[in-house]
A and B are shown apart, each in its own frame.
Chain A
Amino acid sequence: MIKAILIFNNHGKPRLSKFYEHYNEDTEQQIIRETFHLVSKRDENVCNFLEGGMLIGGSDYKLIYRHYATLYFVFCVDSSESELGILDLIQVFVETLDKCFENVCELDLIFHVDKVHNILAEMVMGGMVLETNMNEIITQVDAQNKMEKSETFIFQSTRQDR
Chain B
Amino acid sequence: MALKIVKGSIDRMFDKNLQDLVRGIRNHKEDEAKYISTCIDEIKQELKQDNIAVKANAVCKLTYLQMLGYDVSWAAFNIVEVMSSSKFTYKRIGYLAASQCFHENTDVIMLTTNQIRKDLSSPNQYDTGVALTGLSCFVTPDLARDLANDIMTLMSHTKPYIRKKAVLIMYKVFLKYPESLRPAFPRLKEKLEDPDPGVQSAAVNVICELARRNPKNYLSLAPLFFKLMTSSTNNWVLIKIIKLFGALTPLEPRLGKKLIEPLTNLIHSTSAMSLLYECVNTVIAVLISLSSGMPNHSASIQLCVQKLRILIEDSDQNLKYLGLLAMSKILKTHPKSVQSHKDLILQCLDDKDESIRLRALDLLYGMVSKKNLMEIVKKLMIHVDKAEGTTYRDELLTKIIDICSQSNYQYITNFEWYISILVELTRLEGTRHGHLIASQMLDVAIRVKAIRVFAVAQMATLLDNAHLLTGNMQRNGICEVLYAAAWICGEFSEHLENPVQTLEAMLRPKVATLPGHIQAVYVQNAAKLFATILKNQEGNTDSTAAQETSQMMIDRLPLFVQSANLEVQERASCILQLVKYIQKLQQKDVEVAEEVSALFAGELNPVAPKAQKKVPVPEGLDLDAWINEPPSESESEDEQPKAIFTKEEPKHSRPRHTEVDEKELARRREARKQEQANNPFYIKASPSSQKVYQEAPGVEHIPVVQIDLSVPLKVPGLPMSDQYVKLEEERRQKERAEKKKKEKKKRKEKRSGRGKKHDSGPESEEDITPAHVVDIVTEEMPENALPSDDDDKDPNDPHKALDIDLDKPLADSEKLPVRSHRAAGAPKSPAEDGEAENATPQEPKKKSSKEKRDKKKDKERDRKRSKEEKKKKKHKREEKEEDLLGGQAEEAAVQSEETKEVEAQPSSTSAEVSDLDFWLSNAPVPSNTQEAATVAAAEADPAPEAPAGTAADSEPEEPKDTETEESKSSKHKKKKQKKEKEEKEKKKKKKHHHHHHHSDGGGEESVQNGTVEEEEPLPPMSNYCLLAENSYIKMVCDIQGNLQDGSQVVVSVIFENKSDSFLKSMEFNVLDSLNSKLQRPEGSGPHDGLTVPFQLPPGVSNEARFVFTVQSIVMPQKLKGTLTFIVKNEDSSTHEKLDFKLHFTCTSYLITTPCYSDAFAKLLESGDLKSSSVRLEGVNMPFHHLLARICFHHHFSVVERINSCASMYSRSIQGHHVCLLVKTSAQTVSIDAKCDEPTLLGNVLDEIKQTFSQC
Chain A residues within 8 Å of B, Cβ to Cβ = 1, 14, 16-18, 20, 22, 24-26, 28-29, 42-43, 45-52, 80, 82-85, 87-88, 110-114, 117-118, 121, 125-133, 136, 140, 143-144, 147-148, 151-152, 155, 159, 162
Contacts and interface: CB of A to CB of B under 8 A. Distances in A.
A128 B164 contact: no
B239 A82 contact: yes
B318 A47 contact: yes
Interface of B: 2, 5, 9, 18-19, 22-23, 26, 53, 60, 63-64, 66-71, 87-89, 92-93, 96, 100, 103-104, 124, 126, 129-130, 132-133, 136-137, 139, 161, 164-165, 168-169, 171-172, 198, 201-202, 205-206, 208-209, 212, 235-236, 239, 243, 273-274, 277-278, 317-318, 320-322, 352-356, 358, 391, 395
A158 B26 CA distance: 35
Contacts of A26: 69
Contacts of A51: 355, 358
A130 B355 contact: no
Nearest to A156: B9
A52 B320 contact: no
B161 A49 contact: no
**For chain B, what secondary structure do more than half of its interface residues adopt (helix, strand, loop), or is it mixed?**
helix
B87 A151 contact: yes
A80 B206 contact: no
Interface centre among A1, A48, A52 (most CB of B within 10 A): A52
Contact of B236 (A14, A28, A85, A148): A85
B208 A25 contact: no
A42 to B, nearest CB: 8
A84 B236 CA distance: 11
Contacts of B171: 126, 128
B88 A148 contact: yes
Nearest to A15: B67
A46 B243 contact: no
Contact of A46 (B9, B60, B126, B355): B355
Contacts of B139: 126
Contact of B92 (A52, A87, A125, A144): A144
Give 8 nearest A-B pairs by CB, closest first: A126-B136, A84-B274, A22-B103, A47-B317, A46-B353, A29-B69, A47-B321, A148-B89
A16 B274 contact: no
Contacts of A127: 136
28 contacts: A17-B67, A25-B66, A26-B69, A42-B354, A43-B353, A46-B353, A46-B355, A47-B317, A52-B391, A80-B212, A80-B243, A83-B318, A85-B235, A112-B18, A117-B96, A126-B133, A126-B136, A126-B137, A126-B169, A126-B171, A128-B168, A130-B202, A140-B129, A147-B124, A148-B92, A155-B53, A159-B5, A162-B5
Contact of B18 (A80, A82, A114, A121): A114
A144 B317 CA distance: 39
B165 A130 contact: yes
Contacts, number: 155
**Which of A83, A152, A155 counts the most chain B CB atoms within 10 A?**
A83
A151 B88 contact: yes
B198 A136 contact: yes
A49 B359 CA distance: 11
B892 to A, nearest CB: 30
Nearest to B394: A52
Most chain B CB inside 10 Å of its own CB: which residue of A84, A87, A126, A151: A126
Contact of B2 (A17, A118, A162): A162
Contacts of B60: 114
A125 B133 contact: yes
Contacts of A132: 201, 236
A26 B60 CA distance: 20
Contacts of A112: 18-19
A47 B356 CA distance: 8
A110 B22 contact: yes
Contacts of B206: 128
A46 B317 contact: yes
A53 B754 CA distance: 55
Contacts of B198: 130-131, 133, 136
Contacts of A162: 2, 5
Contact of B322 (A83, A113, A131): A83
Nearest to B315: A45
B168 A125 contact: yes
B205 A84 contact: no
Contacts of B353: 42-43, 46-47
A48 B139 CA distance: 32
Nearest to A154: B87
A126 B88 contact: no
A143 B159 CA distance: 14
Given A113-B18, A147-B88, 4 more contacts: A20-B137, A28-B69, A130-B164, A155-B53
Contacts of B96: 114, 117-118, 121
B205 A129 contact: yes
A83 B325 CA distance: 11
B164 A49 contact: no
B82 to A, nearest CB: 13
Contacts of A110: 22, 26
A113 B317 CA distance: 32
Contacts of B18: 111-114
A130 B171 CA distance: 13
Contacts of A14: 67-68
Given A49-B321, A128-B168, A151 B89 contact: yes
Contact of B63 (A52, A114, A125, A152): A114
Nearest to A88: B274
Contacts of A117: 63, 96
Contacts of A48: 317-318
Contacts of B354: 42, 46
Contact of B352 (A25, A43, A50, A118): A43
Contacts of B136: 125-127
B273 A84 contact: yes
A50 B63 CA distance: 29
Nearest to A126: B136
Contacts of B395: 52
B321 A22 contact: no
A117 B19 CA distance: 15
A26 B243 CA distance: 35
A66 to B, nearest CB: 10
A143 B356 CA distance: 44
A132 B129 CA distance: 17
A45 B356 CA distance: 12
Contacts of A128: 168, 171, 202, 205-206, 209
Contacts of B274: 82-85, 87-88
B355 A16 contact: no
A155 B243 contact: no
B133 A22 contact: no
B236 A125 contact: no
Nearest to A45: B317
Nearest to B65: A25
A80 B356 CA distance: 20
Contacts of B322: 49, 83-84
Contacts of A152: 89
Contacts of B133: 121, 125-126
A139 to B, nearest CB: 9
Contacts of B277: 82-84
Contacts of B67: 14, 16-17, 113
Contacts of B103: 22
A43 B354 CA distance: 10
Given A147-B88, A162-B2, A49 B318 contact: yes
A48 to B, nearest CB: 5
A83 B317 CA distance: 13
Nearest to B389: A41
Contacts of A82: 239, 243, 274, 277-278
A4 to B, nearest CB: 12
Contacts of A83: 274, 277, 318, 321-322
